[in-house]
Amino acid sequence: MNTSHIPVDTAPRPAAPTGVIHPVWVRVTHWLNALAAITMMLSGWRIYDASPIFASFMFPPSITLGGWLGGALQWHFAAMWLLVFNGIVYLALNLASGRFFHKFLPLSPRAILRDFIAALTGKLSHADLRQYNAVQKFAYLFIICDLVVLVLSGLAIWKSVQFPLLRDVMGGYDNARIVHFVAMSLLAAFIVVHLVMVALVPRSLLAMLRGR
């Protein structure tokens, strides 16, 4: 891959960034969330294949997790505990510490568009990783909401009799499967973009590993 045209590293490197970029609880919950979400996605693909929603679309079994439907269900319903409880800890600490407000807000469509254009034209600075640009803010808020939708639509599928309100909000049992699938697709798209951005700005991976 020829990376010589990628503009991000042409920005001046900051003189030895000081202080912590991500506190330890952000790093721990990030990696636990990544583990849980990817486990659920790969096992979910195997579950999907048992009865595809779209007749012409199946996931290649070799990229799924679980070996067979029963195994995939075991993985899926084990990882859900990690996803949910880790997610609750993440959201609670974010709100309690005030990080949620000063990291993600304020955010406007205009700012997202401005930073998006700046990113495409190579003018977006990644000098200070502590400061999220508007596209990042949007992407991270988006994926938080998407994961919430995934959990709620999953609950509506798993317990469609026990949670009638949730079932109705999702448009019934069969429709909840479609909501779950679309939310999973958005998660997959997010992961791809997220990994590309990490590859373009490798310092961000170090920051998420060691905090600086």
Between CA 65 and CA 72, with CA 66 as vertex, the angle to 5 degrees is 100
Q: Residue 48 or residue 138: which is nearer to other proteins going by CB?
A: 48
Of 50, 92, 127, 188, which one interacts with other proteins (CB under 8 A)? 50
How many other β-carbons are positioned within 10 Å of the β-carbon of residue 124? 20
46-64 burial string, b = 16+ CB within 10 Å, else e? bbbbeeeeeeeeebeeeeb
Cα separation, 157 vs 167, in Å, equals: 8
State the nearest-atom distance from the C-beta of 60 to other proteins, in Å.
Answer: 8
174 binds other proteins (CB under 8 A): yes
Of 21, 33, 75, 135, which one interacts with other proteins (CB under 8 A)? 75
State the nearest-atom distance from the C-beta of 64 to other proteins, in Å.
Answer: 9
DSSP 85: H
Of 53, 127, 193, 195, which one interacts with other proteins (CB under 8 A)? 53
CB 83 within 8 A of CB 40: yes
Handedness of CA 166, 168, 172, 175 (dihedral sign): negative
51 binds other proteins (CB under 8 A): yes
Q: 108-137: which residues touch other proteins (CB under 8 A)?
A: none
End-to-end CA distance of the chain: 28
17 binds other proteins (CB under 8 A): no
CB 41 within 8 A of CB 51: no
Q: Residue 120 or residue 209: which is nearer to other proteins going by CB?
A: 209
Of 41, 65, 147, 187, which one interacts with other proteins (CB under 8 A)? 65
Contacts for 156 with CB less than 8 Å, ≥ 6 apart: 163, 166, 167, 169, 170, 173, 176, 179
148 binds other proteins (CB under 8 A): no
- Choose one: 17-25, 92-100, 130-138, 153-161; the region binding other proteins (CB under 8 A): 153-161
State the nearest-atom distance from the C-beta of 156 to other proteins, in Å.
Answer: 11
Q: Considering only CA atoms, which of 190, 192, 104, 180 is closest in space to residue 141?
A: 104
15 binds other proteins (CB under 8 A): no
Give the residues lining the site for other proteins (CB under 8 A). 1-4, 9, 47-48, 50-51, 53, 61-62, 65-71, 73-75, 77-78, 81, 157-162, 164, 167, 173-174, 177, 199, 202-203, 205-206, 209
